[in-house]
Homo-oligomer: A and B are copies of this chain.
């Protein structure tokens, strides 16, 4: 498995991966031109990266504001231990929840949500408070929303060969 990854993730593999993260709809033929491979070769590599679980999907990115979601917020939730798993299930069901991460530390979950209005946020917080104490921070702006993952720099701590 790790061997398979190493074979796929050579210089060209990373190039393909970065290009697909920037624009998931680029034709294989164009990818091939950019990385110096034929279209079928690129298609084959991409298929193998999908099979290996390296590429997990292709998503259209949408503008939340344009879709009527006026604001996003970060909600931290501290659940008592026995409610924590249940809280996870509930969070996964709420359509406002964009991400929900179970974390170490004082909080149980860190959640990013999108809401249409302050009133909507209030109702959502009321729902979430059923599972513990929450702390909400409104997002004012975002310096980074979705980074393209590129090849990790080699480190002395992870020697090769």
Contacts and interface: CB of A to CB of B under 8 A. Distances in A.
A149 B56 contact: no
Contacts of A73: 103
A59 interface: yes
A140 B24 contact: no
A102 B143 contact: yes
A99 interface: yes
Contacts of A110: 74, 110, 137, 139
B60 A55 contact: yes
Interface of A: 5, 9, 17, 20-25, 52-64, 66-69, 72-74, 88-89, 91-92, 95, 97-105, 107, 109-112, 114, 116-117, 119-120, 135-147, 149-150, 152, 155, 157-158
29 contacts: A17-B60, A21-B59, A23-B58, A25-B58, A54-B66, A54-B67, A55-B61, A55-B62, A59-B59, A59-B61, A59-B146, A64-B149, A68-B158, A72-B101, A88-B143, A95-B147, A97-B147, A101-B139, A101-B142, A101-B143, A103-B140, A104-B140, A105-B135, A110-B137, A111-B144, A114-B149, A116-B155, A117-B158, A119-B157
Given A25-B58, A60-B57, A62-B54, A103 B68 contact: no
